[in-house]
Structures are given as structure tokens and as C-alpha cells.
Chains A and B, each alone.
Chain A
């Protein structure tokens, strides 16, 4: 197998991340599911165009934190209560004035299990675009171009260009997950949240996805949850470590892995939590 040369942290350039504006600014966020507190005064800053890995043992609140950023936790209704502040590109997204539809246009999400809609490949790619397009005008040429660009960007075009009308649910898991990324691109999101996007994939597909994700950052700010240490280490610039609902440590990936400041972090990356 060809050795992938993706995202070696040794070639990471500090200048890339430094001094750029914040894409996500989470301050003092606490979150309750009913009476159960899942997040405790969490802070996290994610720089624009960067790729940040969120790690920590199962149940520590990674998904919860991620879903606070596009307010997907609110699907559960009043049962979920969030306090603190979250800004995306300097806009307060927890404010009551925020239109969830607009927020989620700018903050896309990729889920643990690939979840293409039961539509054709093409309609999947165009789904968000059609929802958000201001005028209702339908332009076949424009749409074709959007589909091709999005699919090319996720390296899927050559594989599916002859079957754009087929059901997306018939694709392989790797292709499905790529499609789930592709469908976010036409509406030009600022941030893409990814919740263990490769955990349903085999090692080869995982490598392909990691390569793609690495290739996307810069244009998009990526916050990715992973339980895979190697993945966090290979494919992120910064890493944030959570434990029991608290943000324990956040820093440059290289540093977190080589010289963690907190004992909890060291224990975790050395596999003492399982």
C-alpha cells in the first residue's frame, strides 16, 4: 500500500495557525441534559482555517460540545439547557435571534455513521444548496456545475459521475461519507464539525477520509472528534482534551502528544483510560 504522507505534524507550520481570527470561540459553556450536567464551564478557541481534534474518553462530552456549536442539541427540546457563550466568526450563536437554518448553513456537520438522504447522489449534493438558495429559480447548468465541483473536491467525481441519478444509499460507506462532506460544500460553510467521521469505516477508507479532511482544512475550519489517537496526531494542528465534561488541555497537537501539561492528558494518550 502506498504510504500516505498526510498531515505529518513534523511539517506543521506555526505561522499557519497563529494570529488568525477565531472561527469558533466557546466560553464558559455548561450544558445540562435534564438534571445531568454534561459540560462544565468549557472554553475552546478554534482558529479560522485550522483543523482541531477533540479527544477524550467515551462519554466525556465531545459530541455534546460539538453539537452545541450548531445547536443540534436543541433537537431534544427544553430537556437540554446551555449556558455560556459561543461565537462563530464573532457572532453570538446562542442568541435567541439566531436563525438556526442560517447557523447550520455556516456550520456544517458530518456524523459518525454516514447518513446520506434517501435521494439520488445528485439530489444529496444539491440538498443544502436548494434549501438555502435565495431565489427559487432552477438552473440545470448551474446545478450540474455545483455537483461536479463538490464531488471533485471530495475526490468522488470520477467514481460516481456516471451514476449521479442513483440512490446515494447504495454507495459504499467510504463513498457515502465523502458524499456527506460534499453536500455541505455548495453552501460554503465556515466551519465543518465532524463527529468521529471515520469510526464506521475500514482502515483503508479511514486513511482516504483523513487525507480528504486534511486537504479541506484551510478553506474550511474543521473541528473533529476522534477516539483514534493516531488520527488526532496525524491529522490535526491543534488538539483539545476533555475529561468528564471539562476541557482539560488544549494546544498544538505536537505538544499535547509529546509534552502534555496535565496528568489526565498524559494518562489518556498513553492509553490508561481505554
Chain B
């Protein structure tokens, strides 16, 4: 009886490896390779950009001219000049206007979605915002050219509708969805007990929002704005299409400007590989990379600060 039962139990081969073991190992390996290669690619890209740009930075770069001169004349054979002040001014003015457009818009939308809308309205709005985020930037550029341009010409009676105003608005609208989404998350992270406590003391809806919810969610909101800035800063296609591309420090919203990103996109194809022009464009790339990195890092630190508090 006993012997029979022992015989029926499974054989004890402890070194047996079944299918599950191999699948497990294979998946672990794939995930590892995926993760490592992502890191390697990022480092690789960084090294590549730095290497291409380094030749310019240690060579012909004149820091003073680079940052203080308005003359960007990389293709001149006698007298090439690499002043990016105009490009920086272009990026700054467009991004700045974009923030003026999108910060109130996005925070307003986030407050409405997070604090007022309920049920189906709220869900539909969130889907709508996500759809907006999915519009490709070339489509935004197209909207800038074909809709905003005639609109601005009509409304302000100016000869050209392409420039800071046009690209700023377009970029603002582009940055709005991500800003709205992150800001809404920040508001959602504010515990409802705070709202309840304030309401129980007789605070009106707006008093609750201004005196409790916004201060409590402030770090997340700052992060939302910063990420929006980062988005605007790095955007290329829409700016290329809607900004007019004249290198200058704008004095009116209708002026045409050229952004750093647009310059790289427009000129890199024509610059002979290894030439000073080519390397100067990579230096611009490093500049973009560094600024974007700082913006994102700041946003990250701000959010971490929010978590700790």
C-alpha cells in the first residue's frame, strides 16, 4: 500500500528544466537587451552629437561671436560667421509666446477637467486632450500656414501672417495637451480630504481651488509648465513652417524669426559632412540638448520635491 503510493509520486529530478524555465530565461534576456540597448542608443546619440560638434567647439568657435552676433552666415566662403543670437532670440520669442498662450489655456482646462467636469463630460474631455496630443507637428505647421496665416493677415491688416505670433500660437496649442494632462494629474494628486476640509469651513468652489488645490498641487503644476516649455523648445517642424525663418531679433509679434531647431532641420542636409557649417549645426544641437535636459531635470526635481512634501 505504502510502496504503491511512493511509486506513484513524481520523479525527483531536481535538475530538470521545463519549458517555463527556458521561456523565463529568454524573456529576461530580451528585456535586458532591450533596456541596455535603449541606454546604449541614448549614450551613442549623445556621443555622436558631441563628437560632431566638438570639432567646431575646439576649433573655429568664437564663444563671443557665437552668442553675441546676429550674423549667421555659415555658407559664405570668404567670411563665414556663426552668430546664433538671432536663432536664440527666435526660439526664445516663439517659445515665450507659446507659453503665454498655453499656460493659462492649459491650467484653465486642467482646472475645468479636474475640479468641475464630472462623469461622461470629464472622460470625453480627457480623450479629446489626448487626441490633440496625437496630432503630428507637420499638421500643426500646416494649420499655421493655411489657417492662421490668412487669419492674422485679415485680423491685424499685416502683409504677412507668418512669424512669432503665428508660430507662438501654434506651438502653444501644441504644448497645451501635454501641459493639461500633467497639470490635471497634479490636481488629481491633491487629496480630496483637503477640498472636503475647506468646503466644510464654507469655502466656495473657487476659494477651494485658489487657496487649497493650486497651492497644494503647485509643484506638479510647475513641472507641467516646464515640460510644456521643453516641448515648445524642441519643436521643429511646426516652427519651421509657421515662423518665417528670417534671422533677427523680433521687435513685433508679426516679425519673422528663425528658431534653432528649424535652422538645424533646414540646413543640415546641405552642409557637407565634416565641414565647419556641419559641425556648427551639431553645436546648436548640443545647445538644444543641454537646455532641454536642464528643463526636464528641473521638472523632475520639482516633482520629486512634491512627492517628498
Residues from chain B with a CB closer than 8 A to the CB of A113 are 193
Q: How far is the CB of B193 from chain A (nearest CB, A)?
A: 5
Is the beta-carbon distance between B201 and A104 smaller than 8 angstroms? yes
Is the beta-carbon distance between B193 and A103 smaller than 8 angstroms? no
Query: With contacts A77-B118, A113-B193, A115-B193 known, is A127 near B198, CB below 8 A?
Result: yes
> Is A56 interfacial (CB 8 A cutoff)?
no
In A113-143, the 8 Å CB interface with B consists of 113, 115-119, 127-128, 130-132
Residues from chain A with a CB closer than 8 A to the CB of B212 are 117-118
Would you mind naming 20 contact pairs between A and B with Cβ atoms under 8 Å apart? A70-B200, A72-B200, A100-B202, A101-B204, A104-B201, A105-B201, A109-B200, A111-B193, A115-B193, A118-B215, A118-B309, A127-B198, A127-B201, A131-B202, A131-B203, A131-B211, A132-B202, A180-B197, A187-B201, A187-B202
Number of interface residues of A (CB under 8 A): 28
Majority SS at the chain B contact face: helix
Q: How far is the CB of B116 from chain A (nearest CB, A)?
A: 12
Query: With contacts A115-B193, A118-B194 known, is A75 near B199, CB below 8 A?
Result: yes
Chain B residue with Cβ nearest A132:
B202
Residues from chain A with a CB closer than 8 A to the CB of B203 are 101, 127, 131
In B167-211, the 8 Å CB interface with A consists of 193-194, 196-204, 207, 211
Q: How far is the CB of B93 from chain A (nearest CB, A)?
A: 37
Query: With contacts A75-B196, A115-B193, A131-B207 known, is A183 near B201, CB below 8 A?
Result: yes
> Is B216 interfacial (CB 8 A cutoff)?
yes
Q: Complex Cα distance A104/B194, Å?
A: 16
Majority SS at the chain A contact face: helix
Binary contact track B210-232/A, C-beta < 8 Å → 1, others 0: 01100110000000000000000
Number of interface residues of B (CB under 8 A): 18
> Which of the residues A103, A117, A118 comes within 8 Å of B202, measured between beta carbons?
A103
Binary contact track B256-299/A, C-beta < 8 Å → 1, others 0: 00000000000000000000000000000000000000000000
Q: Complex Cα distance A53/B117, Å?
A: 38
Residues from chain A with a CB closer than 8 A to the CB of B211 are 127, 130-131
Is the beta-carbon distance between B201 and A128 smaller than 8 angstroms? yes
Q: Complex Cα distance A70/B202, Å?
A: 10
Binary contact track B97-139/A, C-beta < 8 Å → 1, others 0: 0000000000000000000001000000000000000000000
Is the beta-carbon distance between A131 and B193 smaller than 8 angstroms? no
Is the beta-carbon distance between B201 and A108 smaller than 8 angstroms? yes
Residues from chain A with a CB closer than 8 A to the CB of B207 are 131
Residues from chain A with a CB closer than 8 A to the CB of B197 are 111, 115-117, 180
